[in-house]
Structure 1
Amino acid sequence: MVTTPRATLMPLAGALAQLLDAVVPVANTEQIDTLEADGRVLAQDVVSALQVPPQDNSSMDGYAVRTQEVLQGAPLPVSQRIAAGTAGMPLQTGTVARIFTGAPVPEGADAVVAQEDCIALDASDDPAQIQIHSTPLPGQWIRRAGEDVQRGAVVLARGQRLGPAEVGLAASVGMASLAVLRRPRVALFSTGDELVMPGAVAPQDMPVGAIYNSNRFFLHHLLRRLGCVVTDYGIVPDQRQATVEALRSAAQSHDLILTSGGVSVGEEDHIKPAVQSLGSLDLWQIAIKPGKPFAHGRVGAAHFIGLPGNPVSSFVTFLLLVRPFLLRLQGVQDVAPKSVAMRADFDWPRADKRQEFLRVRRNAQGGLNLFPNQSSGVLTSLVWGDGLVDTPAGQPIVCGDTVRFLSFAELLA
């Protein structure tokens, strides 16, 4: 009897490096309104044409003063009122200026005293005289011109993925529109005659062996969160020719074809021969749990990635491999997930020979609780959990150990 040796499992780091090496970022750019730029990737540096703030300004409501003229309790006349958006006159000797947050500090003033440290000597909203009951220091409550942004500075770099803060920063230096890379175009389909779409068959009428297609839903939204334009091809029957036709059609106008299921070696797994008939395919066995079977190749000019069919395996391999692939396709350089050290409030004595990603949830004591069922088909574990513990191969976990925690909040951002 002749036995076929098992394929060597590829470490996750090696698989990710190989996947990223195959990426050439999209080259097409477009100019879009800054208000619409959240989630997009910059195609060129944003250089500030001005300094921010443009002038020294007050960070408090209060009074602009010359510190050397302030004597605690001594009355000082108010010579002017300066609101945000208006320019005051040079500060007269022996006086103070009523000033509001964001207003330019008048020439001659070297500090701002908060209004709660002052007493008005008349009942008016704009008193003619005040007393100051603190000793101000030079520079107090003044935001200096250019302390945020210097003129000519690169405030946002090419390849940066924009979030709300980045969009606000671009607006603060006067950018009404931004040059961004076009969105990746992704074709998505599922394979498997056992799959049924919700709504097509009532739960009580489901045939034996049939399951609802959950992968299609979460993959669709994971792709959209990453800024992709998604074409959903639905469920492709487990037939060789139907699979070939779906792949050929999708390759014509997409950067990536993403499938779930059908990347094993069973007789009904037609993805492998179909992709090979149209291009090239590397079928990887990755040393991770969940999510061992993974495929990458080409169909024409399009990349092909095949994920495992079990929902948790598909979800986790998307986060660990497809997410960084798609970010790099958009020109983002820093694509590695960020982990934080946290305390495990559970035991995991049965260490696997593969790198394992356990579904966990943070607790009120600052530690991590473990979902009791770590099977790759238990989708409820992803809803219950708020992240993964990255467990090295062969390493058990004892309650109290420090572990590497990957937050869903970051991975799904």
Structure 2
Amino acid sequence: MTTSENLTAPRRPRTVDEHRAFVASLLAPMPAVEVPISGALGRVLAADVVSAVALPPFDNSAMDGYAVLAADVAAASPDSPVTLPVPEDIPAGRTDVPTLRPGTAHRIMTGAPMPAGADAVVQVELTDGGVETVVVHGHPAAGQHVRRTGEDVTPGATVLTAGVVLGPPQIGLLAAVGLPTVAVRRRPRVLVLSTGSELVEPGSALAPGQIFESNGPMLAAAVADAGGEPELLRFVPDDVEVFAELLAEKAGGVDLILTSGGVSAGAYEVVKDALAGRGVEFVRVAMQPGGPQGAGRLDGDGPAVVTLPGNPVSSLVSFEVFVRPALRAAMGHPHPMRPVVSAALGEALVSPAEKRQFRRGVLDAADGTVHEVGAPASHLLASLALADCLIVVPEGVSAVDRGVDVEVWLLEA
């Protein structure tokens, strides 16, 4: 091949895996920030948590009942009960707990401190529930129904390790060891731009040739769902100078600029025109929907930029394939990708063999089958709204028969 032929030869489309890796490389790990535990749900722990206290912090009762010396009730039974005086009540929260004298019982509530001298709790169901005296019909062993200091957590123990996603149990544990705040990975800040002079805000009157803008709210919601912090800038007109001015104004302080539209091969491709030569590479990816893509770093050292196609299905599928995993990986999520399962295809499909295809689907968990929703066209947003998964047809496959197992990405997990 001559040099001139080589210069004019079309570039090989980038594979899905290549473009995913490139997008992921643009987002560095997010720094740690300290947040109140009330706002830490779903965040990724940035550092190990070491407890300064024991859990439980003191010996306490596991039952409502009576604190006793086990030897004093060792012979108690329904046929031969033991009666003990009850000189004290110990509710949960009492701090001046008196010592138990042999031959007596203290009425005690669940979680209340065990009195010195007691080594067991008789549950109230094995007594007559007396206040001044109690008739005991059972004989707990020493240590029974007593929660010992530190049996759950000892001081100095690592209770949570960095990289854990904080759910309700983890938040509860943080509170239990006395931490009001916790170090987590910062949420990526994402500027979401939708371009198109034809776009108008939902609720407005449509003039001929106009459409309601949906990509911006959709992608902002997707960013938030992935754990990021979106800032939605809507209705950017098809004007390169205006687009560039908005970027200059808004790009500072964000981790990612996410655009939709303006990246195809036609005229008035404002995103491509505005970002050409500014560190963003525009490529075709061997996938459907979502072939035209762009990614890079603004002006070489600025924030990451990912440009998605404008058709709504292409835009959201591209987000799922490339952007969501990159955002979650930057936050340290142990599983940045959507959960993947295998399911039997409910109907035969045809697919372009040179591309990886993502079809909208509904998974039937009862029989383990997956069925396509709607047609594969990239403008059919209503069918995407009905889908709970994506059916993946890999490259090199032009047809899949009914009943064949396929890869399925779960969108609602």
Instruction: Please classify the TM superposition score into its range, dividing by the shorter chain length.
Output: 0.7 to 0.9
Tell me, yes or no, if structure 1 residue 379 matches structure 2 residue 381. Answer: yes
1:52 is aligned to 2:55: yes
User: Is residue 2:197 matched to residue 1:193?
Assistant: yes
* CA offsets 1:50-80 (integer angstroms, 9 cap, x no match): 1222123333333445566254323232644
Q: Which residue of 2 aligns with 1:250?
A: 250
**Equivalent position amino acid for 1:292 in 2:** G
Contact 1:83-1:99 at 8 Å conserved across structures: yes
In the TM superposition, what is the alpha-carbon distance from 1:404 to its structure 2 partner? 4.8
- Distance in 1 (alpha carbons) for counterparts of 2:369 and 2:66: 50
Query: Hey, what's the Cα distance between the residues in 1 that align with 2:65 and 2:361?
Result: 50
Residue 91 of structure 1, CA deviation? 4.7
Aligned to 2:327: 326
Identity of aligned residues (%): 36
The more displaced of 316-325 and 359-368 is 359-368
Distance 1:67 1:407, change over 3 A: farther
**Partner in structure 2 of residue 293 of structure 1:** 292
Structure 1 residues 365 and 141: CA distance shift in structure 2, 3 A: farther
Q: 1:212 to 1:32 in 2, by over 3 A?
A: same
Distance in 1 between residues matched to 2:100 and 2:391, nearest whole Å: 61
Matches within 5 A, 1:60-139: 60-64=63-67, 69=74, 71-73=76-78, 74-76=80-82, 77=84, 79=86, 80-86=88-94, 88-93=97-102, 96-107=105-116, 109=118, 111-116=120-125, 118-120=126-128, 124=130, 126=131, 128-132=133-137, 136=140
How far the C-alpha of 1:139 sits from its partner, in A, is 5.3
Q: Distance in 2 between matches of 1:350 and 1:255?
A: 39
Contact 2:44 2:333 in 1 (8 A): no
Cα displacement string for residues 296-342 of structure 1 (whole angstroms, at most 9, x for unaligned residues): 11113111011122222222222332122223334x15242252546
Structure 2 partner of 1:171? 175
- CA–CA distance in 1 between the matches of 2:341 and 2:223? 28
> 1:9-408 maps to which residues of 2 (within 5 A)?
9-12=14-17, 14-27=18-31, 30-64=33-67, 69=74, 71-73=76-78, 74-76=80-82, 77=84, 79=86, 80-86=88-94, 88-93=97-102, 96-107=105-116, 109=118, 111-116=120-125, 118-120=126-128, 124=130, 126=131, 128-132=133-137, 136=140, 140-158=144-162, 160-202=164-206, 206-208=207-209, 210-277=210-277, 279-300=278-299, 301-330=302-331, 332-339=332-339, 341=341, 343-344=343-344, 346-350=346-350, 353=353, 354-363=355-364, 365=366, 367-375=368-376, 376-393=378-395, 394=397, 396=400, 398-399=402-403, 404-408=407-411
Please state how far the C-alpha of 1:214 moved relative to its aligned partner. 0.9
TM-score (norm 2): 0.80
8 Å contact from structure 1 (residues 187, 230) kept in 2: yes
In structure 1, what is the Cα distance between the partners aligned to 2:286 and 2:214? Answer: 25
Distance in structure 2 (CA, Å) of the matches to 1:299 and 1:362: 40
Distance 2:372 2:104 in 1: 67
Is the contact between residue 360 and residue 385 of structure 1 (CA under 8 Å) also seen in structure 2?
A: yes
Amino acid paired to 2:112: A
CA contact (8 A) 1:60 1:101 kept: yes
**Structure with greater Cα Rg:** 2
* Runs of 5+ unmatched residues, structure 1: none
The verdict on how the C-alpha distance between 1:10 and 1:144 changes in structure 2, with shifts beyond 3 A counting, is farther
The superposition leaves residues 354-404 of structure 1 with CA deviations (integer Å, 9 ceiling, x where unpaired) of 4444433455736455243043322223432333344544373644x6655
User: What is the alpha-carbon distance in structure 1 between the residues aligned to residue 405 and residue 117 of structure 2?
Assistant: 56
Structure 1: which 4+ aligned runs deviate by more than 6 Å?
A: none
Conservation of the 8 A alpha-carbon contact between 1:10 and 1:284: no
- 8 Å CA contact 1:196–1:211 kept in 2: the answer is yes
CA 1:103/1:319 → structure 2, altered by over 3 Å: closer, same or farther?
farther
- CA contact under 8 A between 1:360 and 1:368: conserved in structure 2? no
Supply the distance in 1 between the matched residues of 2:391 and 2:101 (Cα, whole angstroms): 64
DSSP-derived class of the 1:257 partner: strand
Which structure 2 residue ranges, 5 or more long, are not aligned? none
8 Å contact 1:34–1:177 — kept in the other structure?
yes
After TM superposition, the structure 1 stretch with the greater mean CA deviation from structure 2, 191-200 or 294-303, is 191-200
Aligned with 2:276: secondary structure? helix
For 1:291 and 1:138, locate their aligned partners in 2 and report how far apart those are by CA, in whole Å: 69
Alignment correspondent of 2:13: 8
2:219 & 2:41 partners in 1: Cα distance? 20
Q: What is the Cα deviation at residue 149 of structure 1?
A: 2.7
Question: How many residues of Structure 1 are paired with residues of Structure 2 in the alignment?
Answer: 395
Q: Which amino acid aligns with 1:130?
A: V
Change (3 A) 1:380 1:153: farther
Equivalents in 1 of 2:350, 2:115: separation in Å?
Answer: 70
One-letter amino acid matched to 1:321: F
Which amino acid in 2 is paired with 1:280?
A: G
Secondary structure of the 2:350 match is coil
2:63 & 2:287 partners in 1: Cα distance?
54
1:7–1:224 Cα change, 3 Å: same
Structure 2 distance, partners of 1:378, 1:91, is: 75
C-alpha spacing 1:309/1:55, structure 2 compared with 1 (3 Å): same
What letter corresponds to residue 386 of structure 2 in structure 1? Answer: W
